[in-house]
Each structure stands twice: as C-alpha cells, then as structure tokens.
Amino acid sequence: MELATVVFYLIAAVTVGSAAMVAFSRNIIYSAFSLLGTFAGVAGIYVFLGADFVAGVQVLIYVGGILVLVLFAVMLTHRITDVQITNRAVGRLPALVVVGILLFLLVQSIRETPWRKAKEILYAPTTAQIGDLFLQSYLLPFELASLVLLAALIGAVLISRKELKE
C-alpha cells in the first residue's frame, strides 16, 4: 500500500470516529470536543482533494469559530458540576434502523453509478483562481453572502441579549 493511501484511511478513521463520538456520546461536552476531530479530519480530506483554500477556510471558520461558539453555548447552558447524563437521546433503535438502511442505500447507489470522470486531475494552487471567480462570475452571491452575515450578526446580538425590564 502506498503512503498516501495509508494517510487517507488514517484521516478518514479519525473523522468517522470522532463523528461517531458526536452522535453516540452520553456527555455533551465529549460530543462538543469530538467535533474538533471531525472538523480537522475534514480539513485533511480537503487537502487530499487539492482544495488548499477550502481546507484553510475550514480550519479558520469551523475549528476557530463554530467550535468555540458551540463550546461557549454548552458551558453557558449547563451546570458543569452536574454529573447526570447531559445528552439525552430517545428512540435510538428505530433511528438506528432507519439511518442504517439509508446509509446502505446511499453506499449502494454510490458504488453502482458510473460517475463522470474529469479529463485530467490537477493539483495546483487554487486561491488566486477562487478570488477571480468570486469577483467575476460569483460576484452577486458574494455580495449577498456579506449581507447575510451582517443580518446574522445583528440577529444574534438582538436575540441573545437580555430584555431590559422597566
């Protein structure tokens, strides 16, 4: 086996393992910290796919932003000293059956479908091209994205502040 194959399976195992911890752990704090492994593993997968800029964005936004936000929310909404189960789950068995069948069908159709193949597979720096695309053919969605982020910023502040009672 090649070294790249071994590394791919290693990263995939880390990703899937910590995603399973997120889904099955009984403690919400373990779940939140396991998200770190999943996000970092997905960033590694992006590097394998030649998407260097997306990998950087993944680390910056997911690991640096969303994960910290989730941890803050977990810490603010639970009394850490409580030792009881903080991550209740109901209907495990039916959900497991449904999700298992769905996963089987997905994998089956992925294996059966003859996917289109690109003429050549490139491993080149992508950042400059992505910048060009954002300011040319994707200019309108790009501007809309900034508007959405501004709205989300104001909305989050407005929703989570304390009401002043007079």
Partner 1 sequence: MAIGLTHYLVLGAILFSLGLYSVLTRRNAIAILMGVELILNGANINYVAFSHFSTGGLDGQIYAIFVIMLAAAEAAIGLAIVLAIFQIFHTIDVGAVETLKE
Residue of 16, 135, 139, 143 that binds partner 1 (CB under 8 A)? 16
Pick out residues in 52-81 that bind partner 1 (CB under 8 A): 53-54, 57-58, 61-62, 65-66, 69-70, 72-74, 76-77
For the bound state, the minimum distance from the C-beta of residue 80 to partner 1, rounded and expressed in Å, comes to 14
Tokens of 98: 């449904």
CA 52, 110, 16, 77 dihedral sign is positive
Is residue 52 packed enough to be buried (19+ CB in 10 Å), middle (13-18) or exposed (0-12)?
A: middle
Residue of 162, 164, 165, 166 that binds partner 1 (CB under 8 A)? 162
Residue of 14, 36, 51, 63 that binds partner 1 (CB under 8 A)? 51
Pick out residues in 81-120 that bind partner 1 (CB under 8 A): 86-92, 95-96, 98-100, 102-103, 106-107, 110-111, 115-120
Angle between helices 28-48 and 3-24 (to 10 degrees): 150
- The residues, ordered by sequence, that sit 6+ positions from 130 with a Cβ below 8 Å of its Cβ are 53
Asked if 40 interacts with partner 1 (CB under 8 A), we say no
**Residue recorded with tokens 């090649």:** 2
For the bound state, the minimum distance from the C-beta of residue 151 to partner 1, rounded and expressed in Å, comes to 8
Q: Is 47 helix (H, G, I), strand (E, B) or coil?
A: helix
Residue of 10, 23, 135, 139 that binds partner 1 (CB under 8 A)? 23
Pick out residues in 122-141 that bind partner 1 (CB under 8 A): 122, 126, 129-130, 133-134, 138, 141
Closer Cβ to partner 1, 111 or 166, answer by number: 111
Asked if 10 interacts with partner 1 (CB under 8 A), we say no
Is residue 72 packed enough to be buried (19+ CB in 10 Å), middle (13-18) or exposed (0-12)?
A: exposed
